[in-house]
Amino acid sequence: MASESSRSDDREARLARLRQIPRTPVLIVGGGINGISTFRELALQGIPVVMVEKGDWCQAASGALSRMIHGGLRYLETGEFSLVKESVRERDRLLKNAPHYVAPLRTTVPIDSWGGGLLNAGKRFLRLTEKPSRRGALVIKTGLTLYDAWSRRFGNMPKHQLHNQPQTRQRWPGFADWVKCSAAYYDAWIAAPERLGFELIEDAERAEPAALALNYLSVEQCDGEKITLRDTLRGETFSLKAHVVVNATGAWIDRLNGTLSESLPERKLIGGTKGSHLILHCPALLQMLDGEMVYYENQEGRVCIMFPWYGNVLVGSTDIRVDNPDDVVCEKDEQSYILDSLRFVFPHLTIKEEDVLYTFSGVRPLPASHAASNGSISRNHSLVLLPPLAGRDFTTLCLVGGKWTTFRQFGEEAADRVLKLLGEQRKVSTADLAIGGGRDFPSATRKPGWLKALSSEYGVSQTRVSQLVSRYGTRAQAVMNFMRLQPDHPLHAQPDWSQNELRFLIRHEQVQTLEDLLVRRTPLAISGQLTLPLMAEVNALLAEDRGWSPEKSAQHLTDTLSRLAALHGLGRLYPVEMNKESCHVSQSESEA
């Protein structure tokens, strides 16, 4: 078993490199998708950029999205045509550049009338009202026609269809009586946003080896040129000077600006709203959805979504203003609100509290706004440049707003501003650049042959190869190369995963905590598969790799259980008696 110092290799090496960098041209603060995207853009232009994140990559809003890669149909109503057009274009790019995680999603909109909502939609468009109301078929058809036009320009999604009442009833017998017709169209969903975020970092560091990304490192203080960073795991501090700081801290933007300069004039950039989702175990609903998303208005006219999620159903979300973005959680009343919204569309479903397997919450980093309705705050993004001033000797570029779908475009715009500040030129475009395991991903026709070839090359069953490819895309080959270096075993508590597969993630993907592994590098938590034995088994692999003592390992497991209970509603895992012995890989397995 490796000693702690010899095994914390990757992080120690990264921290050692950071100690050797007294000054960087660009420091990006915030490792959500927008900071990561800017990091990739700059690294690809050969800039030795540094990025720090106070927790894990994509731990905040970028891990709490509805997991839709979409144009944003409803933004047409508020006249945000350029945002929708850009989103459709970026959606279609992601379908090509990240085909291992992003896939088309057939979507149905239940509608209560043909002509309803015309007046209100017109008023919203002219900004005479912010009140959401039900949209009739004509309003929705107008939006979908524009969607189709843009989709045809950038990709090849099928055109939308309107279905009358008998057609709708035939496909959706469980819909509420108020549903008079429906529209069907295609958007897209993302299976592993946190993994795609990590793969972008990996691509960037490979393209520019002097670029450095460090998680669990927080910006704490600034004194003139000197920025103080703190290792949030061990407490060590570092200082760094930067020519430009990119503030990509999402809902924390104003806080970081306050940290960077106390003398900064009061200018609020962010007015975040919290959104929560549930993962439901509901086979009857899953069967009705049959692979489709339902994009529906709830009793208040707010748009909500539900779609199949790893054998369960993802449903959300809420939209509540919050001032403190730290550790937001899905409250009980939000859970009831989401379930009531669901019953509004499917009134005959019985859903019990214990059917909620997992919850997650995040804060949308929306621009500060006085809008009366949260839904009418713009989802567009913008850049705000703060020049150097007394006590803060560098320029700060703030990334305000932005959807997950449009991260590439936003990162490109941010990087171009930074390049201009540095007097550098853009050399590479990311528009058509495949990401991580999306590189060399075979077409649907080539895929079966490719899987078969991999299966014989690695001596692994085709089922297992397909599973690994669905998890890692073409990076599955790197995973399999690692897995065959030593004998492997399926996990006792979840045989769909193997020890060496998890060891690969632990060693190669900047995993610092059990939570990183369960929540962001794998879908084990969000797919509702967590049990105490499984957590203990995975924790044991992490402890073995890091050389943790039995006490440290047991404490880490306890801390993770508490966090998952608090942040994701997993308190029901507690009643199981915790066995310290289970925190270790058994001797025979670790030696095998």
Ligand X SMILES: Cc1cc2nc3c(=O)[nH]c(=O)nc-3n(C[C@H](O)[C@H](O)[C@H](O)COP(=O)(O)OP(=O)(O)OC[C@H]3O[C@@H](n4cnc5c(N)ncnc54)[C@H](O)[C@@H]3O)c2cc1C
In the complex, which residues of this chain contact ligand X (CB under 6 A)? Answer: 29-35, 52-55, 59-62, 64-68, 70, 218-219, 248-252, 256, 275, 317, 362-365, 399, 402-405
Least distance to ligand X, CB of residue 478, Å: 26
Q: Quick one: CA dihedral 60, 61, 65, 69, positive or negative?
A: negative
User: Strand locations in 112-257, DSSP E?
Assistant: 161-163, 181-190, 212-214, 217-223, 226-231, 237-247
Least distance to ligand X, CB of residue 588, Å: 40
Nearest CB to ligand X, comparing residues 363 and 468? 363
Determine the Cα–Cα distance for residues 112 and 339; give it in Å rounded to an integer.
20
Determine the Cα–Cα distance for residues 135 and 142; give it in Å rounded to an integer.
11
Nearest CB to ligand X, comparing residues 362 and 437? 362
Residue 397's nearest CA partner among 40, 46, 6, 27 is: 27
Residue 37's nearest CA partner among 197, 164, 165 is: 197
Query: Which amino acid appears at position 236 of this protein?
Result: E
How many of the other CB atoms lie within 10 Å of CB of 529? 20
Nearest CB to ligand X, comparing residues 60 and 540? 60
Least distance to ligand X, CB of residue 114, Å: 28
Q: Quick one: CA dihedral 410, 415, 420, 424, positive or negative?
A: negative
Least distance to ligand X, CB of residue 566, Å: 17
How many of the other CB atoms lie within 10 Å of CB of 383? 16
Nearest CB to ligand X, comparing residues 69 and 505? 69
Least distance to ligand X, CB of residue 383, Å: 12
Least distance to ligand X, CB of residue 490, Å: 33
Nearest CB to ligand X, comparing residues 94 and 541? 94
Nearest CB to ligand X, comparing residues 78 and 249? 249
Nearest CB to ligand X, comparing residues 105 and 538? 105
Least distance to ligand X, CB of residue 246, Å: 11
How many of the other CB atoms lie within 10 Å of CB of 156? 10
Contacts of 283 (CB under 8 A, 6+ apart): none
Determine the Cα–Cα distance for residues 213 and 57; give it in Å rounded to an integer.
10
Determine the Cα–Cα distance for residues 36 and 430; give it in Å rounded to an integer.
13
Least distance to ligand X, CB of residue 517, Å: 17
Nearest CB to ligand X, comparing residues 65 and 554? 65
Locate 4 and state its tokens.
């702690």
Residue 214's nearest CA partner among 369, 51, 456 is: 51
Nearest CB to ligand X, comparing residues 101 and 504? 101
Least distance to ligand X, CB of residue 201, Å: 13
Least distance to ligand X, CB of residue 480, Å: 31
Least distance to ligand X, CB of residue 297, Å: 16
Nearest CB to ligand X, comparing residues 337 and 404? 404
Determine the Cα–Cα distance for residues 535 and 518; give it in Å rounded to an integer.
8
Locate 318 and state its tokens.
């809420």
User: Strand locations in 387-504, DSSP E?
Assistant: 395-401
Nearest CB to ligand X, comparing residues 213 and 535? 213
| Torsion, Cα of 473, 477, 478, 483 (10° steps) | 120
Residue 518's nearest CA partner among 556, 484, 470, 466 is: 556
Q: How far is CA 263 from CA 229, 266, 268, 324, in A?
A: 20, 9, 14, 22
